[in-house]
Amino acid sequence: VEITDVPSDTKDKDDILESEFFDTRQAFLSLCQGNHYQYDTLRRAKHSSMMVLYHLHNPTAPAFVITCNICYLDIETGQGWHCEVCPEYDICNSCYQKGGVDHPHKLTNHPSMADRDAQNKEARQLRVLQVLYRILLAPRDCV
């Protein structure tokens, strides 16, 4: 079969989007597990793909939604309290201010979006420096 009408320029003109969720397989798996994205049916695969694309195009949006363990409402970034010992214990500001929190460990305030962005930027810069360091110290082939 002869194919005609192939354009001479087939380069992709879209910008390359960087996202920490696609750096490693483990990062992508963590995103999918943390948000319950599934690919076992066509319907779930469509929804999960749409949400992954949302995270790709909105890198500053929170990747994981945290839910209050008392009232079960979503906690906005920087508006909740987290247990330093229990990995899945978070409560919202309103439940914390009511004072009816019966938890044996210390609760700390969630970092704000600005603090989280600064930490992410710092981590990305550190990864770039590590890669450059490995490249510069890699043994050179003898000629």
pTM for the complete prediction?
0.48
Q: Are the C-beta atoms of 31 and 21 separated by less than 8 Å?
A: yes
DSSP state of 1: -
Q: Is 125 exposed, middle or buried (0-12, 13-18, 19+ CB in 10 A)?
A: exposed
Q: Are the C-beta atoms of 112 and 88 separated by less than 8 Å?
A: no
Reported as half-sphere exposure (CB side, CA atoms, 13 A), residue 33 has a value of 6
How confident is the model over 83-139, as pLDDT tens digits? 888 877 888 888 888 876 778 888 888 765 455 555 566 666 777 777 666 667 765
